[in-house]
Amino acid sequence: MPTRWLHDWLGADCTSLLVGAAVFFVVYVTLRACSSRGAIGPLPPGPRPWPLVGNFGVYLLPAWLLRRRHGRGSLSPHLLLTRLADQYGDVYSIYIGSQLIVVLNGCNVVREALLNFAEVFSDRPDVPSVTLITKRKGIVFAPYGQVWKQQRKFSHATLRFFGLGKLSLEPCILEELTLIKREIAELSRYEETFNPAPLINNAVSNIICSLSFGRRFDYKDQEFKMLLNRMSRGLEISVNSQAILINICPWLYYLPFGPFWELRKAELDITAFLKRIIAQHRESLDPSSPRDFIDMYLLEISQQEEKEDSMFSEDYLFYIIGDLFVAGTDTTTNTILWCLLYMSLYPDVQDKVHAEIEAVVGKDRAPSLMDKPHMPFTEATIMEVQRMTVVVPLSIPHMASENTSFRGFGIPQGTVILANLWSVHRDPRVWDKPDEFNPSRFLDEHSQILKKDCFFPFGIGRRTCMGKQLAKMEVFLMFSNLMQAFRFRLPEGIRAPPLSGRFGLTLAPHSYNLCAVSR
């Protein structure tokens, strides 16, 4: 039966190559063409694409099959794209089907493109695997233009009103840390190993929930835990090689089985959760006393409802809240998890962090944001983890909004632009021994923080992460407080997880357990 055949295909190994090629051929007419007509200059060089499937058949599909056969040790897309730059240069092109993609590598190229060509390269492509979920609304994936500018300006101002980037938000973060430390202390008392991911994920999510929804959720709330798990899995699926199939065959998204159903289920559950919260806010709204982001947005809707060209609606609010909830949770969670893993793997660095915290803060009070200027090694350690891991290694895809010329190459309108942040942070032309973990590279001769132009883990240009100030606050406070309270190590006899990570929309560490010893 056809359904059974498809089900077998989604779970198959090498046979998926032949079947995938057949599917690509059948649905080729649905591909979104990206014409080079009108481009100024020749296209960037790149590997020769195959008919119909582009470079997906040459590079990406074999890498996918290797991943399915050999597991998590295979070459991830950001590593593959970085290696291709050695052959084709810092600006090169590949094709997914007939869609032209220009990959930008290295610090100078990425900075020039996203800063000097910001008006052209700040748009977002219409990618089916993303559009099916976001409808091209919100902040992260919305197209560049007047609507996006107004929504981002309002969102940023409102979040600042409720404490984004301000010391007034610190008590909220410290409240979550108190609960985390209590949980870990209980586990360490009985020398139990534990997976830090659920605890960190809950805490980080609660902070963005406090800003957005005006409430936090209990760590034992089963619905909330399920939602966070689905979100994490959905982000992993949304940009892997299976998602490429959705981009070519959008109807696969609606199949009632396989990884595509997992993605759809995550969307349905998060949608129901967020819409229920918005409805509760609408019913209890007090215009004289807005409690959180949702209240402020609902008030803005009512103030602009008589305007014919109003850009504010509950529908748009839903997608902005979704962006805040998803992006505000996953990236920060993974950064902290990477920090704990690296400290377990580099005990000498952990010792130096402990010594600095003890010298500056002591043991009688919790580290505060006010201590940050006096803790350069701790901050440098966080920065080096961010450099080594790059939680969004390929950034969020950009798109050329018009034909342009960049570094002597023609970039046609509609070209997808991938800024390879992994290559920026591992560029041997600007980083000495870039594959070595060395926090001291961020310190000057006086052991103070050394700013680096080629370090931008939150992106750069007009599409830089709106919540980066919040993320910086969370990561510093959580990392320093956990380091003050505990010494972390991997369980005896257990191999460390590979540092290649799990590639999705973000680069997450493979699941690992820790032992914590109270200090």
Same domain, 109 and 50: yes
Kindly indicate the confidence band of residue 503, based on its pLDDT and cuts at 50, 70 and 90.
confident
CA dihedral 125, 335, 165, 158 (to 10 degrees): 40
Q: Residue 45 falls within a domain, yes or no?
A: yes
Residue 81 in domain: yes
375 φ, ψ (degrees, to nearest 5): -125, 60
How confident is the model at residue 10, as a pLDDT? 44
Here the tokens at position 123 are 């748009």
Domain identity same for 8 and 39: no
Render the burial of 345-356: b for 16+ CB within 10 Å, e for the rest: bbeebbebbbeb
The answer to whether residue 499 is domain-embedded is no
Q: How much is the pLDDT for 37?
A: 47
Domain assignment of residue 77, yes or no: yes
Query: Is 110 within a domain?
Result: yes
Query: Is residue 101 domain-resident?
Result: yes
Q: What is the mean pLDDT of residues 177-197?
A: 87
- Weakest mean pLDDT among 181-195, 332-346, 413-427, 436-450: 181-195
Same-domain pairing of 17 and 63: no
pTM: 0.87
**pLDDT higher than 90, residue 212:** no
Residues 15 and 45 in one domain: no
Task: Please state whether 31 falls in left (phi above 0), alpha (psi between -120 and 50) or beta.
Answer: beta
- Percent of all residues in the chain with a pLDDT value above 90, rounded to a whole number: 53
Q: What is the DSSP letter of 510?
A: P
Same structural domain, 53 and 96 = yes
Q: How confident is the model at residue 31 (pLDDT cuts 50, 70, 90)?
A: very low
- Look up the domain containing 89 and give its range: 32-130+392-419
Q: Domains in the chain: how many in total?
A: 2
96 and 17 housed in the same domain: no
Q: Tell whether 493 is covered by a domain.
A: no
> How is the chain split among helix, strand and coil, in percent rounded to 5?
55, 10, 35
What residues pair up with 94 in beta bridges, in sequence order? 101
Same domain, residue pair 16 and 93? no
Residues 78, 107 within the same domain: yes
Residues 22 and 45 in one domain: no
At 59, is the pLDDT very low, low, confident or very high (cuts 50, 70, 90)? low
Neighbour-count burial for 216-246, b at 16+ CB within 10 Å, e otherwise:
bbebeeeebbebbebbbbbbbbbbbbbbbbb
| Residue from 425, 397, 402 nearest 412 by CA | 402
Six-digit token string for 327:
């992006």
Residues 44 and 11 reside in one and the same domain: no
Q: For residue 10, what are its two tokens?
A: 């989604």
* Residue 258 pLDDT exceeds 60: yes
Read off the pLDDT band of 236 (50, 70, 90): low
Scan for tokens 């310190």, then name that residue.
Answer: 443
**Is residue 10 a part of any domain in this protein?**
yes
The CA-atom distances, in angstroms, between 123 and each of 93, 96, 97, 413, 421 are 18, 19, 21, 10, 18
**41 and 20 share one domain:** no
480 pLDDT exceeds 70? Answer: yes
Q: Which residue has the higher pLDDT, 59 or 273?
A: 273
Instruction: Please give the order of strands across the beta sheet that includes 99-104.
Output: 91-96, 99-104, 416-419, 398-399
Based on the domain organization, do 38 and 89 belong to the same domain?
yes
pLDDT at 64 over 80: no
Which of the pair, 265 or 125, is modelled with greater confidence?
A: 125
Tokens read off for 421: 């942040």
